[in-house]
Every structure is written in structure tokens, then in C-alpha cells.
Amino acid sequence: MTNSFRTPKSTGLCFAVVLSALLTGCAPSPTQDSGEGSKQQPATTETISTVQPAFRGSGTSVSLEFRAKEPPKDFKLPWPDATPAVGIETGKQGGRFTTVSFGEGPKTFNPITSNDASSAEIIGRMFDGLIGFNNETQEYFPQLLKEWYMENPKTWILRLRSGLKWSDGKPITADDIIFTMKLIYDPQIPNPARDSLQIGGKPIEMEKVDDLTVRAKLAAPTGVFHAIIGIAPIPKHIWEESYKSGTFIQTMNINVAPETIVCSGPFKLKRYDSGERVVLDRNTNYYKYDKNGVQLPYLDELVFTYVPDQDAMLLRFQRGEADGVVQLKPESIPDMMNPEAQKKGNYKLYDLGPGEGGSYLWLNLKQGNNKNGKPYVNPVKEKWFQDEKFRKAIYLAMDRESVVRTELRGLAVLTASIESPANHFWYNPDVVKYPYDAKMANQLLDEAGFKDRDSDGVRKDRDGNKVSFTFITNKGNKVRERAATLMSQDLAKVGIDMRPQFIDFNALVTQTADTFEYEACCLGLTGGGIHPINSMNVYRSSGHTHLWNPRQEKPATPWESEIDHLADEFSTAIDIQKQQEIYYKIQLIVSQNVPIFPLWSSKIFVAVRNGFGNVKPTALSPQLLWNIEEIFVKR
């Protein structure tokens, strides 16, 4: 969510867009993970091969740099630096694509200040990043840039394509990049990108080389520059004045005249009907062309419509009032999947496998007292929770497979790492797994001294306290409630009384991230991207999203200390294979010490009406719209 279009796929897990994924992945909620936002260019096999492996990264899916290359011979581009749309089915200009999602729609069209998913989904179609991310191949590629490379370990060159124009016809230049970076670093302008754009704890210095070239000076060498620098510039000639007068925050809001939003992406704003729809139309200055010399995007218009809930969303799609829909309720999937229904409704349902998000359960591992001298966790329970055997036993006792099979209708996969399996390059498949094993759980609990001494079905610890605690989870749909109940029953079978407590999402955030007064928590967290650099705050013991024990002054355990060292190493490692090794190791250490129980990751389903070309939905968000400029109306 958080402006990821500016740092395309620069993030591992985004825990911000939480709610909707909880357990079922689909509770209606105020914010959605409907679109992640980065304006990404398409899957083009050609582009992939042009990525020059800079270091040892050869053969991996991620490269640090990209050097300009001759365009393919069979393309007649209007100017040499225009982007060839390689490897796509060619189409004709015209037509309209309508999507429907639930919620109130965008909050702003300002790419700097926006921090919600529904805004990012639209802004991502209107503003291209310097560097893009191909959802299909999970590769970075030059978007507005023609090339980017390292001059020496601490300076990098960013070079724009020549001939790029804003939607108002003015050229896109190095000044725009520098201006945008200045805004991002200005503390007066609240924006979530600033924290990501720090290297060695310092901002990146930008220096203009010529009209198209910028030199970036870093405080330390890094191997993640490409993952964070993909910001979407905004036009300096339009916004400099409002920036100087201090009114920039209010610009590009939902009430402005559409034509005042000058942008660089395939579409520009045409109309906004509050709570109903956003209409984008073709940016005639877009820089991408297909083999036949046809300028992209193919579509004349892209329409986003909004309804209050998922049922209404499905209805709109079924009535033919929308061409594409992403966040389907699991309950509706079996019917939607029916081949007859697909034929009759003239659509195709794509099963894209597990998404970026997942559901997790963790015990509160915070030790000590709060400001008022009250312990965060009852000291009796604190002792249990700190016991690794106790944690392993709980994880082993949960029959997650049954929950997924029954309550989630089989529409999820079990997970073992915080990282999602959808993240092909960074996900470690070889972490320690804890499949359902009640026998083992019983054995571990016996070993740790938790025994049912009076045969009432509930174990007691060595001091005779009943092993009983609650886990909080956010209020929502029935599926989630039943899943929580099932897990609670599983634990009862091994003599542990673990009860769900359903509370308001806001209350849950306060308890887990602020006051730390809770015993355990179960939450669905939605992924926001690919690169682990920014999810390091989850792994670092000092991180405020180190879910099970945030904001530690010094690492509470030796293994958390080891992860801290690895996280430091990760951001300075220049070798991508090395980075992968480090991140694998971090995931492994977490799984060995089980501070958090990854439960499952819901599958992503996308339904698209037949009759459109280049439809290539992916499990990563924005699932359907990431290559929208290539999608065309057939016939």
C-alpha cells in the first residue's frame, strides 16, 4: 500500500494493509489490498534478457543495474529511446476496461502523500516509476529510466530516456527527479516513502549531471539501490509553486480539476465521481509502442468503479457492468469456478496461487513492565510464552490443514515462513516446518512440565496454574470466526485452553503495536511487494513491526541478536546471491525459534471477461492492472 508505486516492489511484506486478509483473506474492510500501485511494465522476455547481470547475480531474477541496449531490430520506434512493447500480442487502440472493487475509492491522486491501496492502484496507472517491476517474471526493468548503474560503490547514475513527455507535453527531465526527491525528504510533507529512501541511515544526495542524467550519492555501498529508487517523479514545472507556498499536501486531491494532474503514466485522470467511479483516459504522450508502431496504451479508457461490499462487487461483475474483478470472497469462488458459469458469464477465472499476504498467530513475547509498572503479560504466562517448547507445541497442535480444507474451502496454502511463497526469489522453501502433530505437541508439553495433574482436561504448569490464555483477532466475517474456533478446539485436544477474542481492528492495533497488553494475536497481513529490504523492520528486534516483541532496546534473545546482525549485513551486501543467502538464513532462524506461527496464505483469484488481449494476472498486486497499457479489446 504505502506508496509502493514510488518504490516499486521494494518491500517484502507490507503489514499496513492488514485487515482484509485475515484468515479468509477477504473480510470487507475500510482499506483493501486491491492494488499495490507500482506502475509496472509488462512481461517481456526480451526485456529480461537485456538485463545485464552486474555482479554475481547472474541467472537470478533480480539484477542490480541495467545498461542501455539497442532496441529490437523489428521495431520502428518513433524515436530511439521510446520503449518497445516486446513479447506481447499486438492490438488496436480503442475501447474501455472497467474494474469493480469494494470501498470508497481513492483518497487522493497525489503520488507523494498517498498511503492507501485504493489511491495507489489508480496513481500507479497515472505515474510511471523510474524503475518498474514485472509482476510476471518478478524482474526489475527500466521504466522512465533508460539505464541505471553503479559508478563506484557509493555513487550511481540514473539516466532518463530521451524524448519523454509529461501528459501536458513538457519534457520529463532530471530536474523533475531531483525536485521529487527534495519533496520526499522534506519533513513538512508527510510521506511514507522517506523512511524507505535511506541508505546507511542517511538520505540519498541527488546531483544533476545533464538534462537527462542524475548522479546519486549514497552514504554507504548497498545492493538494494534499485529496489528503493523506483520513485515516480512529479512535474516540477507544475508543483514547484505550491511546494514553495507550503500547500503541496493539498494538491492533487480528489476535488481538483482532472486536467491539472499532469502525469507520466499510460493513463491520465478524466473524471472522479465521489464514491462511484474514477475514469482515466489515454495519455497521448506515452512513450511505449508496439511492433506495428501503435502507441500504447491500447485502451481509450480505464474505469474504476466502487461498491460498498464484496457481494455488490460480484453482482456488478455478473451483470456485465465490470470487465475485471480481483478481491472475490472465498465463498463465491466455487460457483465462479464452475465451467458452465464461466461460459455463460463469458469470463475466465484465474487461480493464481497464494498471494503476498498471509495469516499469522503469535504469542506476546514482550517482557517486563509498562510505564505504569504493570507487566505487559501476566508473569505466569510470560514464563510459558518464553518457553520455546511451549511455542512449538502450540504450533504443532494446530490442525491448519483441516481449517483450510473446511473453513477456507481449500482456497489457501499452508505457510511456514513470514515471507510468502508468492515471492519466488526471496522465499526460503527450506525453513523448519511444523505440520499438525498432536502426539509431538503432547510430548513437548510433558517435557516442558505442563501436565494435566487433576485430570480435568487442562494442563497445569509446574506451579499448578491452568494453561489458559486468549488470542485477539479482528472482528469480521463468519469464516474467520469459525477458523479461530477450530484452532481453539485443536488446542483443547492437547490440554491447552486458548480462546479467541474478537475485537475491533483499531483496538487490536493499539494493543499489539502500542500498549502491548495482550496475550496472543491472530492477524491477516497483506503483502505489498517483493524486496525484503523494507520488511527488515519485522525481523529487527528494534523494529516497531517486530510483531511478537517490537521496539526492543537491545535484543532479548541471542537469536534475535543474530538476526539483527544479518539484517545489517543484508542492506550492505552488494551481491544479490549473498543477499538471498542472508534472507534465507533469517527466515530459517525465525522458523527454528518459532516466535510467530505462519498459518496460511489465501489464494488469489481474478475474474476477467473474455474478449481482452494480453490479460496476464499475477498473484502479486496489482494482480490485474500491472500491465494495463498492453491490454486491448479483441475484434
Partner 1 sequence: MAKLIVKRLLQAIPLLLAISLVTFFLLFHSPGDYLGQLRLDPRISQEFLDREIRRLGLDKPWYIVWASWVWGIVRYGNFGHSFTYHIPVTQLIGARIVNTFILAFSSTLFAWVIALPLGMIAAIKKDKLVDRLASGLAFLGLSVPAVLLALLAVYVAARTGWFPTGGMRSNEYYELPSAWAKMKDVGYHLILPTFVLGASGIAIYTRQMRSNLLETLQADYVRTAMAKGVPRSKAIMKHALRNALNPLITLFGFAFSDLLSGAFIVENVMAWPGLGRTTIEAYSSKDMFVVAAAVLMAAAMLILGNLIADILLAVNDPRIRYD
**Taking CB under 8 A as the criterion, which residues in 93-122 touch partner 1?**
98, 103-104, 107-108, 110, 113, 115-116
User: Which of 42, 230 has the CB closer to partner 1?
Assistant: 230
User: Which of 68, 249 has the CB closer to partner 1?
Assistant: 249
Among 5, 8, 9, 11, binds partner 1 (CB under 8 A): 11
- The reply on whether position 321 binds partner 1 by CB under 8 A is yes
- The reply on whether position 155 binds partner 1 by CB under 8 A is no
Instruction: Tell me the torsion sign for CA atoms 28, 622, 3, 595.
Output: positive
Give me the amino acid identity at 623: Q
Q: Among candidates 522, 573, 514, which has minimal Cα distance to 545?
A: 514
User: Which of 113, 623 has the CB closer to partner 1?
Assistant: 113
Stretch that binds partner 1, among 218-226, 298-306, 334-342, 395-403 (CB under 8 A): 298-306
- The reply on whether position 34 binds partner 1 by CB under 8 A is no
CB of 140 to partner 1, least distance (A): 18
User: Which of 164, 269 has the CB closer to partner 1?
Assistant: 269
Stretch that binds partner 1, among 154-162, 185-193, 288-296, 363-371 (CB under 8 A): 185-193
CB of 136 to partner 1, least distance (A): 24
* 239-268 positions binding partner 1, by CB under 8 A: 249-250, 253-255
The grid coordinates of residue 20 equal 482484509
User: Which of 307, 448 has the CB closer to partner 1?
Assistant: 307
In three-state secondary structure terms, 170 is coil
H helices present in 147-216, as ranges = 174-185
3-state helix, strand, coil in the chain (%, to 5): 30, 20, 50
Strands (E), 31-86: 83-84
Q: Residue 317 in contact with residue 607, Cβ under 8 Å?
A: yes
Cα–Cα dist 247/83, whole Å: 35
User: Which of 194, 268 has the CB closer to partner 1?
Assistant: 194
User: Which of 173, 415 has the CB closer to partner 1?
Assistant: 415
Strand partners, 268: 281
Among 134, 305, 364, 417, binds partner 1 (CB under 8 A): 305
* 525-584 positions binding partner 1, by CB under 8 A: 525, 534-538, 543-545, 551
User: Which of 456, 568 has the CB closer to partner 1?
Assistant: 568
Give me the amino acid identity at 619: A
- The reply on whether position 276 binds partner 1 by CB under 8 A is yes
Stretch that binds partner 1, among 315-323, 433-441, 552-560, 562-570 (CB under 8 A): 315-323
Kind of pairing between the strands at 520-525 and 468-474: parallel
CB of 547 to partner 1, least distance (A): 8
Q: Residue 111 in contact with residue 127, Cβ under 8 Å?
A: yes
In three-state secondary structure terms, 415 is coil
Stretch that binds partner 1, among 154-162, 311-319, 381-389, 589-597 (CB under 8 A): 311-319
Q: What is the DSSP string of 493-544?
A: HTT-EEEEEEE-HHHHHHIIIII---SEEEEEE----S-GGGGHHHHSTT-T
CB of 158 to partner 1, least distance (A): 21
User: Which of 104, 205 has the CB closer to partner 1?
Assistant: 104
Cα–Cα dist 548/456, whole Å: 31
Kind of pairing between the strands at 288-289 and 155-160: unpaired
Q: Among candidates 100, 76, 184, which has minimal Cα distance to 624?
A: 100
Cα separation values, 361 from 68, 173, 297, 423, 522, Å: 46, 48, 43, 21, 4
Centroid of chain to Cα 98: 23
User: Which of 65, 281 has the CB closer to partner 1?
Assistant: 281
The grid coordinates of residue 583 equal 534472507
Among 56, 271, 343, 634, binds partner 1 (CB under 8 A): 271
The three state secondary structure string of 298-340 is CCCEEEEEEECCHHHHHHHHHCCCCCEECCCCHHHHHHHHCHH
User: Which of 220, 507 has the CB closer to partner 1?
Assistant: 507
Stretch that binds partner 1, among 47-55, 167-175, 187-195, 424-432 (CB under 8 A): 187-195
User: Which of 294, 315 has the CB closer to partner 1?
Assistant: 315
Cα–Cα dist 578/57, whole Å: 9
User: Which of 211, 504 has the CB closer to partner 1?
Assistant: 504
CB of 380 to partner 1, least distance (A): 26
* 475-534 positions binding partner 1, by CB under 8 A: 503-507, 509-511, 513-514, 525, 534
CA angle 301, 160, 281 (to 5 degrees): 10
CB of 213 to partner 1, least distance (A): 28
Stretch that binds partner 1, among 67-75, 234-242, 313-321, 428-436 (CB under 8 A): 313-321
Cα–Cα dist 34/14, whole Å: 13
- The reply on whether position 187 binds partner 1 by CB under 8 A is yes
CB of 415 to partner 1, least distance (A): 18
* Number of residues forming the site for partner 1 (CB under 8 A): 72
- The reply on whether position 586 binds partner 1 by CB under 8 A is no
The burial class, CB within 10 Å (0-12 / 13-18 / 19+), for 83 is buried
Stretch that binds partner 1, among 217-225, 299-307, 396-404, 617-625 (CB under 8 A): 299-307
Rg of the chain (C-alpha set): 25
Kind of pairing between the strands at 288-289 and 83-84: parallel
CB of 42 to partner 1, least distance (A): 26
CB of 622 to partner 1, least distance (A): 18
Instruction: State residue 248 phi and psi, 5-degree precision.
Output: -60, -35
CB of 535 to partner 1, least distance (A): 5
User: Which of 30, 78 has the CB closer to partner 1?
Assistant: 30
CB of 155 to partner 1, least distance (A): 25
- The reply on whether position 370 binds partner 1 by CB under 8 A is no
User: Which of 84, 124 has the CB closer to partner 1?
Assistant: 124
User: Which of 414, 418 has the CB closer to partner 1?
Assistant: 418
CB of 108 to partner 1, least distance (A): 6
Cα separation values, 78 from 288, 294, 329, Å: 10, 10, 45
Instruction: State residue 587 phi and psi, 5-degree precision.
Output: -60, -40
214-230: b (≥16 Cβ within 10 Å) or e: bebebeebbbbbbbbbb
* 325-344 positions binding partner 1, by CB under 8 A: none
* 192-221 positions binding partner 1, by CB under 8 A: 192, 194-196
